[in-house]
A and B are shown apart, each in its own frame.
Chain A
Amino acid sequence: NAGVMQNPRHLVRRRGQEARLRCSPMKGHSHVYWYRQLPEEGLKFMVYLQKENIIDESGMPKERFSAEFPKEGPSILRIQQVVRGDSAAYFCASSPQSGTNTGELFFGEGSRLTVL
């Protein structure tokens, strides 16, 4: 059973470009979470999605950032017009549907964004 898959693992963008990070949850998981970790800092929650729905986006910056989890395909975290301060590791996690809520999140290995 494959774990949470994130790609790309490393992404380099110039200021003003767009970054798209993809996350495929574990098989059978319908909940996806995105976290950001700035260099030498802790993990900060960004957004929580279920299939086709954003449940909680309280940690998402109001501008330039968006997330989706379509009915088919991976979850996408999109950052428009990137700035140097967006350089970070972006981690995706998944969990089964809420009926089996144990609080255990399964994390991917992260996507490391570098903005030049």
Chain B
Amino acid sequence: DAKTTQPTSMDCAEGRAANLPCNHSTISGNEYVYWYRQIHSQGPQYIIHGLKNNETNEMASLIITEDRKSSTLILPHATLRDTAVYYCIVRNNNAGNMLTFGGGTRLMVKP
């Protein structure tokens, strides 16, 4: 699976959009981009995934650049409960379901 690079930490004001970037310049054509988050001491939680089109669900939006070398997870109206570590993961869906977690971005939502 391709390697991802994320900022170590970010701050966001409550009620504002949180934009979390991820670089995956070595991504191959059959690899998906996944986002998970881990709120302190809890199990990781799936957020969203995509291949090349932008995706949106009730939690977030995923914007993938046309060359697929980077993506951005957008939390449209961040709340204090969105404070967590956010993991961007690239994975080949034909290679089994195992996910490899990197360091992630520690998002701190501040009042």
Contacts and interface: CB of A to CB of B under 8 A. Distances in A.
Interface in A70-107: 89, 91, 93, 95, 98, 101-107
Interface in B60-111: 87, 91, 93-94, 96-104
The binding surface of chain A is classed by DSSP as strand
Given A42-B104, A103-B91, A91 B99 contact: no
Given A43-B101, A103-B91, A108 B96 contact: no
Interface in A14-38: 31, 33, 35
Interface residues of A, number: 26
A91 B43 contact: yes
B49 A103 contact: yes
Interface of A: 4, 31, 33, 35, 42-45, 48, 55-56, 89, 91, 93, 95, 98, 101-110
Given A103-B93, A106-B46, 4 more contacts: A45-B101, A93-B44, A109-B42, A110-B42
